Amino acid sequence: MSFIQNSIKAYLDVVEAQEKKNNEQKKQSVEALEKEIEKLKAELAKAKADADVKVQPNADTGEIPLRVGVAQALLDKGKKKNG
C-alpha cells in the first residue's frame, strides 16, 4: 500500500472511532433522560395523588361535609395555582 492509502485508512479509522464514541455518549444521554422522565412521571403521579382531597366523614354522624361557598372556592383555586 502506498503512503496515501495508509493515511486515508488511518483517517477513516479515526473518524469511525469518533463516531462510535459519539454514539455511546448519545446512548448514555438518552438513557439518563429516560430515567429522569420516569422519575418525573412518578413525582407527578405522587403529586396528583396528594392533591386529591380525601373527604373524611364526620365520626359521630357519618355525614360527609359539603364543599360549598366562596371561601372554599378560593382555597381550591389557590391549591391549583400552587400545585
Q: Which residue has the higher pLDDT, 82 or 2?
A: 2
Cell of 55: 373527604
Q: What is the per-residue pLDDT for 52?
A: 63
Q: What is the per-residue pLDDT for 49?
A: 75
Average pLDDT value for residue range 1-20: 88
Range(s) of the domain holding residue 7 = 3-82
In 3D, which of 53, 78, 77 has the Cα closest to residue 66?
53
Q: What is the pLDDT of residues 26-73, one digit of tens each?
A: 999 999 999 999 999 999 988 887 766 666 777 888 887 776 677 777
Q: What is the per-residue pLDDT for 17?
A: 92
Q: Is the pLDDT of residue 80 over 80?
A: no
Average pLDDT value for residue range 6-33: 92
